[in-house]
Amino acid sequence: MGSGVLAKLGSVITAKTAAVAAAGALVVSGAVGVGVWAVNGGPQLVVVQRSASVSVPARGEQAAIAPCQAHEKALGGGYAVTGTGFATSSLFVGDAWLTAAYNPDDAPATLTSYALCINAKPEFRGDADWSQTAHAYHDRRDKMGTDSVGGAIHDLTIGGPFRDAAHNASPSLSCPGGFTSLGTEFRAGRTLTGRAVAPVPLDTLTTQSAIAGAQPLPRVMLNPGSRLSTGVFPLRTSEYIEHQTRIEDPQPPEANYAVTVRPICVRLKDVSVATTKVAVAAGGSASGVVSCPKGKLVVGGGFQFPAENEETSPQAPTRFFGDGWLYAPTDAPAAGESSGSKVKAWHVTGRNQQKAGLDYYNSVWIEHSDRETLTGNGYFDTHGRGPDDQVLRALAVPDSQEMVASAVCATIDAKPTEPAKAPSPPVVTRPELPHALDPLPGATGGTGSASPSAPTPGASPTTSPTASPGTSPTPGSPNSPGTPTTGGPSRPATPSQGSSPTRQQPQAPTVSIQQPGAGGQLRRGCEESFAGTARTRPGNQPVTDPQYTSWRITGPNGPVTLGAGASGRFLVPLLPDGTYKLVFSATDPAAGLTGSAEVSVKIVGCLR
């Protein structure tokens, strides 16, 4: 058989699989191939690809399974998405390979799942688990926790719910005990429960040697899903300003995306990694094909976008959501071969969503609110907003990004197996996969907010709920993606119509400002004391955590963030003399509801 047809599989698949496939959410293919024989009449060791294809609807998800034959063993697999889209899960299902993909476009796409099948029984490491995670929440690795005048920065990275994700964006994987990595399985997940999630493509899925002669190591990394705040903040010096990033709620659901990963570890003989480099122009795509040396089998492959311009110096930019993704919609055996063909090379197509001529969001600008005094404040953005604004750090997007395509090459010391005279179709049982897209409809506040309706330039658009790729949420938990998660705020339950009439419904916290008082003076460029109170309703519990509180002054060009916490000493922004609105906001961590208080204050010159 070629591509999978449910009627031809019949009772071979389980009832659960059949129901899903009949709904169009899963395709299973079992191509029956003949063995490869040497001239002397005996079987020859060979790696072949088995494939299955399925249409992925617009703004939807879909999955396909490609199984090996009964006498074959799956070494790993790959995928190819024709059209717009990318893989969200890619993993073993027994001796078959499952791939799920997401299509953010308005036109349908095609997903092909590939299994690498060998007619032998090599030894796999059996105790590998899904204990490690790659996160789409990114921040600068050299981020500063204080601003240029020593004031603390409070955001989702520093002391916030994404702190661990920011410090562990890429997992550390290895294959100990004489085993070698052929690649990595990954499956969709999320970082925090209770927050919406939307998929992000990988920019690295490769096996490579860190140094010449060393064992290949798997590497996995997601593109950024976290959005850099473009809010204005007080600025006195430009020193290390690009390191003083601020990531604040609301965040797009892509910021909460993660994939759990597991290395594919096999005991092999004489393993090496062949690579080729391809320049992918901004806004375009390019392909690379990698072959193995004569006498070695292609047993895996991968890709990486090193983005060297983001690593060259302390002033190099960091990519954030909206800067454009770098990914590979195709990471599979060489294209154009039919299912059951011998694998001769590895094929990777890279796509570069960056836009040449633009600046990164990590670029820094100074806002000039007053032409006479040239007082101002800083902000992160791709461009200046006002006619008097000036650039402090312009970090340009390059014309192209280099992609490294790789093939894992090896000799296998195993006895070839022969196909049965009347091979039976493979039996495939569909696993429970997590949702890659779960906007948590009805969630409020920062714990479940979707991205704004206007898409950020260079980033894939956020979508509304769609059919899952033949997956189901974990029973009894509509929020759970079915994978281990770190701690975080839980999504509050919706009270039922039959609940007790005496039960109080959550309301926004009661918020007040004690200092400064209405009409109080704040000295421009000086640190002043601020104090407020916030209590939940019902419960009357104080809200003091910096991640749920904020102080802002509304300037001529929008809000300027002062700091966070119920009280503290914050730097007064460089605004012209005048009267401004001071706002103290607090969010109930459990209900996700936000309350605020405001007073009018006067900004005057600072006498030192």
Spatial contact of 201 and 87, defined as CB atoms under 8 Å apart: yes
CA-based nearest residue to 365, from 378, 348, 349, 354: 378
The whole-angstrom separation of Cα 536 and Cα 251 is: 23
The pLDDT of residue 314 is 84
The whole-angstrom separation of Cα 21 and Cα 28 is: 8
3-state secondary structure at position 151 = coil
**Cα–Cα separations (whole angstroms), residue 413 to 35, 48, 410:** 18, 17, 10
The pLDDT of residue 530 is 94
**Cα–Cα separations (whole angstroms), residue 473 to 57, 108, 492, 494:** 20, 24, 18, 18
The pLDDT of residue 459 is 39
CA-based nearest residue to 168, from 192, 132, 129, 218: 132
The pLDDT of residue 317 is 94
CA 460 centroid distance within chain: 12
Taking 70 as the pLDDT cut, the residues of the chain under it are: 1-42, 147-151, 209-215, 236-237, 369-376, 420-435, 439-504, 606-608
Torsion angle of C-alpha atoms 318, 321, 324, 327, degrees rounded to 10: 90
**83 torsion bin: left (phi>0), alpha (psi -120 to 50), beta (else):** left
Token look-up 């936000």 returns: 594
CA-based nearest residue to 132, from 169, 163, 171: 171
The whole-angstrom separation of Cα 48 and Cα 74 is: 10
Q: Which residues share a beta bridge with 53?
A: 112
Spatial contact of 350 and 286, defined as CB atoms under 8 Å apart: yes
The whole-angstrom separation of Cα 57 and Cα 101 is: 10
Question: Which residues have C-beta within 8 Å of that of residue 39, sequence separation ≥ 6?
Answer: none
The pLDDT of residue 5 is 26
Residue range 58-78, pLDDT digits in tens: 999 999 999 999 999 999 999
Neighbours of 377 (CB within 10 A): 23
Question: Which residues have C-beta within 8 Å of that of residue 444, sequence separation ≥ 6?
Answer: 591, 592, 593
Residue range 297-355, pLDDT digits in tens: 999 999 999 999 998 888 899 999 999 999 999 999 977 788 889 999 999 999 999 99
Cis link prior to 457 (omega < 30° from 0)? no
Task: Give the DSSP H or E segment for 16.
Answer: helix 15-22
**Cα–Cα separations (whole angstroms), residue 305 to 76, 302, 309:** 22, 11, 11
Spatial contact of 27 and 101, defined as CB atoms under 8 Å apart: no
